[in-house]
Structure 1
């Protein structure tokens, strides 16, 4: 691993196993230092490991030591650095990388698992229909639009199929650069009732989000966001996993693996948050259910 890359954490945690299960179970925690989300998730995960029962003690990571080991990366940068520049020693759990980043450095042959941040498409369309049935009733304005860029286009087929299962039509456009976003949004809002923001570093940037939200607002098309910051910027509602929720899921996965269960190859967020921007909803003349009620309904719906 190159010396110029610095992790916020490089920790070794020794988790005792039941008697007779081996010499120990070591976890090496590598956390990206380039974004606050990964740092918050890393801090919370470290705290959970310390508080686990039976008691957890921390020891320096010793390559070649006896016992079972698990490397846990938190954030895309930590995953990229470990996956690209280091020899993977034993199983790896990649927490909160983007799907494109994970797939880019996912080596075949090793035991590698991931907990992604992206919500499954069925959950998102369930939310849209539960929150705004007046806009998504089949036979009425049943079109949802979205923009996809170089990294998100591979997910488009899954989203189109999931929308169709629910009687919705997903209208999309592909863009290759930031300057294509505005014109594409103007075309999309003329044929849709809801705009879905799909994570993509070309589509949603510091230069594009505000113009996108302004264009959709002027067209009275509500935007569904994928983060707390998108909600605050002007999306009508958002669904996302907080750093603490992702850390909890990672912790549970680590403990299950420690107890002898296999690492799930890929996980979507088990815990998630729905939030509503009441100011935007009032401005658009829409009355939405309470966020807590939406969360409850989502957990009862098939994804």
Structure 2
């Protein structure tokens, strides 16, 4: 099965994204830290619901996702659409757990589980990093695999447009890529050029290489653009990049709310509840494809539709960066059932 990754559309521009499970868990930790209290996972309201949400375990993040899903499925169209939630361990205890239900695997661990399940079924993946989805799609010939995927990552042009807004006079950006993110190089350079940035790219094979290859990374850079890669997520690597950037007074732009709290100037993020809402709306509007329409030949991949900007006022102020001209947020309008 091949995938069609859409050219990222961007409503945020001024009117002028092996250890895949480590990444998913890391993002989940950040979401847990900053999502606040969460309601319990709801019980199903129908003995044979049309949607089965597969989660790795019961936690605040997955509960928030389910809450957003519950609030938005059926709000446009069929009001009788219901769902059931099961953990991986609950499914493993059942000989024939799926029936005719549409399946949504929530998180990278659940997607991996469904991809390798002996009673293989096509499924929708949600709350999953793009690197994980690409790997699953590459091996789709061995499994019914991913039917559609709702990514955790924000599109590059949306992230770069935020930097252009905050740094209107900037000429160049720097970025470090690892083995898992090297495929982004061409798109990064293209999108940066489109917005008037020259992109200085440094590629490493391991986190230990970062101090050696980044000696000149900040000399001609107006901003450091952080991209997720498993080899770049250890705290020692992140601390080095932050410290080196601020020594040269180069602002850092992260990819999660947690990075902003850690000292990045800004980031764009989507909450688990908003990502759940997007999936709920999509399944309501496009139930035929989500059920496995044989006429659909390619897996569909979707970036977040709902998102918010987060800035660190103290860091921005210390670097002389104006933050009063941010683009408008695009939050989900959740309608509780």
TM-score, normalised via structure 2 length? 0.70
CA distance in 1, matches of 2:66, 2:81: 19
* Corresponding position of 1:182: 211
Change (3 A) 1:259 1:113: closer
Deviation, 1:185, is 3.8
Which consecutive residues of structure 2, in runs of 5 or more, have no partner in the other structure? 1-39, 331-337
* Corresponding position of 2:234: 205
CA distance in 1, matches of 2:322, 2:42: 47
Matched-pair contact (CA < 8 Å) for 1:210–1:233:
no
Matched-pair contact (CA < 8 Å) for 1:98–1:117:
yes
Cα RMSD of the aligned pairs, angstroms, is: 3.2
CA distance in 2, matches of 1:41, 1:146: 31
Matched-pair contact (CA < 8 Å) for 1:83–1:105:
yes
Query: What SS does the corresponding residue of 2:328 show, helix, strand or coil?
Result: helix
* Corresponding position of 1:41: 65
Counterpart of 2:102 (choices 50, 70, 95) is 70
Deviation, 1:83, is 0.9
CA distance in 2, matches of 1:78, 1:11: 19
Deviation, 1:145, is 0.7
CA distance in 1, matches of 2:101, 2:203: 42
Change (3 A) 1:36 1:202: farther
Matched-pair contact (CA < 8 Å) for 1:14–1:59:
no
* Corresponding position of 1:278: 313
CA distance in 1, matches of 2:190, 2:161: 13
Counterpart of 1:171 (choices 200, 203, 218) is 200
* Corresponding position of 2:157: 122
* Corresponding position of 2:115: 83
Deviation, 1:280, is 0.4
Which 10-residue stretch deviates more, 273-282 or 160-169?
160-169
Which structure ranks higher in relative contact order (CA pairs < 8 Å, sequence separation ≥ 6)?
Answer: 2
**How many corresponding residue pairs?**
271
* Corresponding position of 2:281: 252
Query: What SS does the corresponding residue of 1:179 show, helix, strand or coil?
Result: helix
* Corresponding position of 2:253: 224
Change (3 A) 1:54 1:203: same
Query: What SS does the corresponding residue of 2:275 show, helix, strand or coil?
Result: helix
Query: What SS does the corresponding residue of 2:232 show, helix, strand or coil?
Result: coil
Matched-pair contact (CA < 8 Å) for 1:30–1:78:
yes
Matched-pair contact (CA < 8 Å) for 1:28–1:70:
yes
